[in-house]
Amino acid sequence: MIWKKSEAEETPVHSLSQPSSLPPSSARGQAQASKERALIGAAIEIKGNLAGSEDLVVEGRIEGKIELRQHSVTVGKSGYVKGDVYGLVVIVMGEVEGNLYGEEQIVLRQTCTVRGNISAPRVTLEDGARFKGSVDMTPPTPAEPDPAPA
């Protein structure tokens, strides 16, 4: 299938569908195709800790810690997580019972329910989001340089 440039530009980057495959001549298409994203479907249930090196979309159920500090974690509308979530960017549309830790940002959409504390330099709570916990927006402290030898 060949895509027109206008169709490729209209494709949202945050779409939950699989990345589209654009012709090799499109540099933007190559960037999207190389972006790895794992999907845990609505019929999947996982009990245990989860770690990896790609973005994650959760539409199923996870009971355990999710640790993807260098990647985004999205809990979809039908997603449920019971445990702490660590990610570069954490977006919640479903339900989370546990603490959320975002290296860059946490976004709680209007359809979400979160019971736990959230910690990130930037936090967005949309109107209608259900949240019970505390918010810590302390920016990460840079590592202090070693003192110069005297």
Looking at the domain assignment, is residue 12 inside a domain? no
Alpha carbon distance 150, 148 (integer Å):
6
By residue range, what is the domain housing residue 84?
A: 37-136
Alpha carbon distance 86, 107 (integer Å):
13
Looking at the domain assignment, is residue 54 inside a domain? yes
- Which residue's structure tokens are 């709680």? 108
Looking at the domain assignment, is residue 18 inside a domain? no
Looking at the domain assignment, is residue 16 inside a domain? no
Looking at the domain assignment, is residue 128 inside a domain? yes
Q: What is the pLDDT along the chain (150 residues), one digit of tens a residue?
A: 444 444 434 433 343 434 433 444 334 343 344 467 899 999 999 999 999 999 999 999 999 999 999 999 999 999 999 999 999 999 999 999 999 999 999 999 999 999 999 999 999 999 999 999 999 998 766 655 656 565
How many domains does the chain contain in total? Answer: 1
Looking at the domain assignment, is residue 95 inside a domain? yes
Looking at the domain assignment, is residue 141 inside a domain? no
Looking at the domain assignment, is residue 57 inside a domain? yes
